[in-house]
């Protein structure tokens, strides 16, 4: 069983912001897997399904970004999942808009949501799918990530959410290395 968590912030105020790309990837996966409804569990919106013969849980923590690990801990406990079966999806200001990067371990790189996940996972060895949002030197990072996605970036970021969903499916169907080889260009 795999737990696939997309990071974001709950509520309409944060819809269509760069910081909610993790949620967008979960929405894209739900669409691809014909999931019509999520349920509330462990302070997250969750849906259970399969990719091929692999059971998966899609989750969007509703604890706000910086406390995502609290929901993760509850999900780990409820579903009895090992951290090695986690796939974490989140935005990254250190990648250009539209790029995605897949890794099998590492630090948070200054991303507070990832920091919270690392704290509660008690492991750094799990898959991460990071989506590039770029950065604007004139705007503080905390403000930049919460800005609405501008029209000029909407197509690139939508395409990267689709690529990230494809990468997650490949991780499940094949393995992490295959996804890294295909998408880390």
What is the CATH classification number for the domain harbouring 94? 3.40.50.1470
Task: Reply yes or no on whether the pLDDT at 153 is more than 80.
Answer: yes
Domains in the chain: how many in total? Answer: 1
pLDDT band at 32 (very low <50, low <70, confident <90, very high): very high
pTM for this model (two decimals): 0.96
Please give the Cα distance from 114 to 54 (Å, whole number). Answer: 25
Task: Reply yes or no on whether the pLDDT at 185 is more than 80.
Answer: no
Please give the Cα distance from 76 to 84 (Å, whole number). Answer: 11
Please give the Cα distance from 25 to 31 (Å, whole number). Answer: 10
pLDDT of residue 164: 98
pLDDT of residue 17: 97
CB 130, CB 117: distance < 8 Å:
no
Q: How far apart are the first and last CA of the chain?
A: 28
Query: Tokens in use for 128?
Result: 């991460």
Radius of gyration of the chain (CA): 15
**Summary mean pLDDT of the chain:** 96
Backbone phi, psi, residue 48, to 5° = -115, 140
Tens of pLDDT, residue by residue over 76-115, are: 999 999 999 999 999 999 999 989 999 999 899 989 999 9
pLDDT of residue 10: 97
Which residues span the domain enclosing 48? 2-183
Q: What amino acid positions are annotated as catalytic residues?
A: 19
């Amino acid at each position: 069983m795999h737990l696939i968590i997309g990071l974001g912030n709950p509520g309409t105020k944060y819809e269509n912001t760069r910081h909610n790309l993790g949620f967008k990837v979960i929405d894209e996966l739900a669409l691809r897997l014909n999931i019509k409804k999520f349920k509330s569990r462990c302070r997250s919106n969750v849906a259970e399904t399969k990719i091929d013969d692999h059971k998966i849980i899609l989750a969007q923590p509703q604890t706000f970004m910086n406390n995502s690990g609290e929901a993760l801990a509850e999900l780990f406990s409820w579903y009895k999942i090992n951290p090695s079966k986690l796939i974490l999806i989140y935005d990254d200001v250190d990648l250009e808009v539209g790029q995605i990067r897949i890794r099998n371990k590492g630090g948070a790189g200054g991303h507070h949501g990832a920091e919270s996940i690392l704290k509660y996972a008690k492991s750094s060895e799990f898959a991460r799918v990071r989506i590039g949002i770029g950065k604007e030197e004139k705007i503080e990072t905390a403000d930049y990530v919460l800005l609405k996605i501008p029209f000029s970036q909407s197509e690139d970021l939508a395409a990267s959410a689709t690529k990230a969903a494809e990468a997650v499916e490949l991780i499940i169907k094949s393995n992490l290395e295959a996804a890294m080889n295909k998408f880390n260009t």
